[in-house]
Amino acid sequence: MSDITTLIKESKKKKSELIATTVRIPKELQSVIEEIAEYLSLSKQEVMLKLIEEGVKIAEQAISEEEPTVSNFHVLNTNKRYDLEAHKEMMDLGIAAAFYDPCKLNIDKIKKDDVVFLYANGIGIVAYGKGSGETLKKAYYDEENECHYQELIDFVRLEKPISAAEIKKILDRNVVFLRVMSSMPDGQKILDAITE
């Protein structure tokens, strides 16, 4: 129980804009959440938010392990939701980066001249460039080699991001943006839309 306590207390330090949403849950689950909240002397909202955040991380990891990357086009999530500094670094330095196993290994799959679209949660595709083909490693939060990254050649920041809805319209298909990195076999359509 101390792990969840630490996670919840750490999440309280990070301030981000909250939006209201409604979800119906079984009575049994509601009882468990109330018990955890009472045990930890926290609000139900704080407990539910942290449980949802942890569930999303698990889902993202499971999805990223599910699909092999075998395309010349990739969409890389900049991790903006969890680490704004990582997102800023990718944008400022023109790099594609991922953190911790197994997510960081996605960067190793980027071949020279593969096009990588950087996708920011809630915004859309915000930049793109070509992979250098050379994966570099560095520390992430003082943990050695937990960041794998590649410099993006011909890096371009988009003046007007391409939203998730626009991407789905351009590709005429549903696109899942939860994965750390996804192949995009029809990525040329996105590149054409950007450069036209």
Give residue 69's pLDDT: 45
DSSP state, residue 167: H
pLDDT tens digits for range 160-178: 999 999 999 999 998 888 8
- pLDDT average per 10 residues of sequence, the chain (196 residues): 61 66 88 86 87 81 57 89 92 96 92 96 95 95 93 96 95 87 93 90
Classify residue 6 as left (phi > 0), alpha (psi -120 to 50) or beta: alpha
- pTM attached to this predicted model: 0.67
Give residue 95's pLDDT: 98
Give residue 70's pLDDT: 46
Give residue 106's pLDDT: 93
Classify residue 154 as left (phi > 0), alpha (psi -120 to 50) or beta: left
Give residue 15's pLDDT: 58
Beta bridge partners of 77: 119
73-77 and 124-131 beta bridge pairing = unpaired
How does DSSP assign 102-125, residue by residue?
TTTHHHHTPPTT-EEEEEETTTEE
165/11 Cα distance (integer angstroms): 30
